[in-house]
Amino acid sequence: MGERWAATFAARPAADGAPDLHVMLDQVDNVPPAPPGEPHFQQGDLLAYYLDGPDHATAHFPRYGQVRLNLSTGSSEGALTEAALAAHGVFEDLLAISLSPHLRRRGLFLLHAFAACPPEGGGAALIVGDIGVGKTTTGLALLHAGWKLLSNDSPMVAEAAGGVRVLAYPGLLSAYPDTLARFPELAALNTAPAVREKVLFAAEAAYPDVWAEAAPARAIIFPQVEPRPDHALEPLPPARALRLILPHAIEQWDRAMIPGHLRLLNRLVQAAPAYRLRLGPDTTTLPDVIGGEINHKGTKAQRDAKGA
């Protein structure tokens, strides 16, 4: 677990001073029993939350372990099985569950999205969607073109003067073999192309100096793979964007934080135009399609600010 933790956070600078969040993880042979009673929130048979007063919660993974959250002290204690390290994405999900409630109480809200910004600046694109819609392929196309990475899966968003700021969140990249095959710099990672399993790798191993610290939110992209010859960006009204983004942001068990979270998301969709990205086959043109929109909106925002 220490090796996985170190690999996940390797690209991020060490914090100055004493930490105010504490996470302790232990490896165990068997999943600890669930707390007594019915869960207060359940996500199928994958995850259940049990609440004990306003400041304590237990996130229970029946297959992988559980994490106990003390919201008043900013601490999390987890007991994980070996299966949590072997199953793709589970360890990273457990880290996010261990950190996200504490981050929310510090004004930092995680969003399930790929986030990147053009090398010349102009703002961040948030690429939001479920598995299989083209989110990772779109994100890697941006990195291939020299864009900077803010997060593969969980950027933090926070209020900022005049809009919403996107901040980096650490993590490894992952992609299926057919996605890796699209990008020459990732070919060496594609060691078992016939196996339909995601490959984990550090972004900085393939794209030197790839990380950015923060950028203003400039566009929200909802990709969708379609049988079409080229890409198309279709504007979405803010209300529609908010409905689409909610399942990728709100944790329903954390009721105390939902009002503030909703206010931030509403501010996000008002500040950053949203689009349905209908994906064609040519990944090389994606940076121009998305970047052109970001640069256009960024230039307009600068003009408006000068006029004000």
What residues pair up with 166 in beta bridges, in sequence order?
157, 215
Task: List pLDDT tens digits, range 19-33.
Answer: 889 999 999 999 999
End-to-end CA distance of the chain: 52
Task: List pLDDT tens digits, range 111-161.
Answer: 999 999 998 887 999 999 988 899 999 999 999 999 999 999 999 999 999
- Residue 162: pLDDT band (50, 70, 90) is confident
| Mean pLDDT, residues 198-220 taken together | 93
Task: List pLDDT tens digits, range 163-184.
Answer: 999 999 999 999 988 899 999 9
Least confident range from 99-108, 219-228, 287-296: namely 287-296
Domain boundaries, the chain: 2-104, 109-307
Pairing of strands 22-27, 75-80: parallel
Q: Where are any strands of DSSP class E within 65-106? A: 65-70, 75-80
Position 191 scores a pLDDT of 78
| Mean pLDDT, residues 52-70 taken together | 96
Topology (CATH level 3) of domain 109-307: Rossmann fold (3.40.50)
> Using CA atoms, how far apart are residues 153 and 111, in angstroms rounded to an integer?
8
Position 204 scores a pLDDT of 92
HSE, side-chain direction, 13 A CA sphere, residue 126: 33
What residues pair up with 113 in beta bridges, in sequence order?
128
Non-local (6+) Cβ contacts of 239 within 8 A are 269
Overall pTM > 0.75:
yes
Examine the pLDDT at 305 and tell me if it is beyond 60.
no
Examine the pLDDT at 296 and tell me if it is beyond 80.
no
Q: Please give the structure tokens belonging to residue 192.
A: 């078992």
- Average pLDDT over the chain, rounded to an integer: 91
At 125, give phi and psi (nearest 5°): -100, 130
- Of 72, 73, 71, residue with least CA distance to 101: 71
> Using CA atoms, how far apart are residues 65 and 79, in angstroms rounded to an integer?
5
Examine the pLDDT at 252 and tell me if it is beyond 70.
yes
Q: Please give the structure tokens belonging to residue 172.
A: 């490894």
Cβ atoms within 10 Å of 4's Cβ, excluding its own: 16
Residue 87 DSSP code: S
